[in-house]
Amino acid sequence: MIQVEGLKKRFKLSKEHNKNKTSSDPRERDGYFHSVESVSFQCQQAEVLGLLGPNGAGKTTTLRMLSTALTPDSGAIFVGGQDIVKKPLHGRRSIGFLSGTTGLYGRLSAQENVEYFARLHGLKGKPLKARCELLYETLDMTSFLDKRAESLSTGMKQKTNIARAVVHEPQVVILDEPTTGLDIMTKQTVLTFIRQLKEQGTPVIFSTHHLDEVDMLCDRVCVIDKGVSCFDGDLATFREQGNSRELNQAFLNIVREAQDV
């Protein structure tokens, strides 16, 4: 499981920004932008959690802290009982992370990209071959394995990125908007893969703006608005607190209620 407690992260504003300040965002104060002010949630084994929030809410900053790319100013992130804020190497070994800006080595083939990262995680020989072949089949990659990454379509690149992110069989998988820009067939492959991770008992956190994906996949939801987690619970409670059976409306109601506080 993964448990997130009281994450905070701020970024220093430039002198020029402070001088010409026009923003009314309350997170800009004391010379800092407080991107994440208080975020907490949890995702148990065999659960899928949807991370929701308006653009600029702090979701990406939160995910980058979970990946250990950013160090929180305060708070804790527990994976397998270990605080990965204090032990970031454990976090990198335990988490499979796909960011919205993940890139591939353009001159390497899809297969070479995945297997390169497998070796970085210590896989070799028969275990590497078996793991990669399973991913290639599961993600429907066999038709383009030999193609250079620079010539792959958007969907092919995303499948390769996902395989690269999970090749080391992580304890937790985190996906940042994994279906954005994908065609219907590729999107379905990705959603099916998330279901398979759940069936294997792997906790999955994914951010999305598509509430239909949340309805299909998620056991839990966390809503972040203006750097604060204003909801963390199961889908039934989400609908109840949002006062709507329709997830889009429930989301809007929860965010509006948080902004009125």
- List the domain boundaries for the chain: 2-102+172-260
The pLDDT tens digits of the residues spanning 47-96 come to 999 999 999 999 999 999 999 999 999 999 999 899 999 999 999 999 99
pLDDT of 222: 98
pLDDT at res. 231: 97
What are the beta bridge partners of residue 120? none
Q: At what angle do helices 125-138 and 110-120 cross, to 10 degrees?
A: 130
Q: What are phi and psi of 85, to 5 degrees?
A: -65, -40
pTM of this prediction? 0.93
Which ranges of the chain have pLDDT less than 50? none
User: Residue 29 region, left (φ>0) first, then alpha (ψ -120 to 50), else beta?
Assistant: beta
Give me the pLDDT at residue 22, please: 63
**Tokens (6 digits) for 44:** 């148990």
pLDDT of residue 20: 67
Give residue 18's pLDDT. 67
Length of the chain: 261
Residue-level pLDDT at 17: 73
Has domain 2-102+172-260 been given CATH number 3.10.129.10? no
CA distances from 43 to 29, 82, 128 (A): 32, 15, 28
Are 191 and 141 spatial neighbours (Cβ–Cβ below 8 Å)?
Answer: no
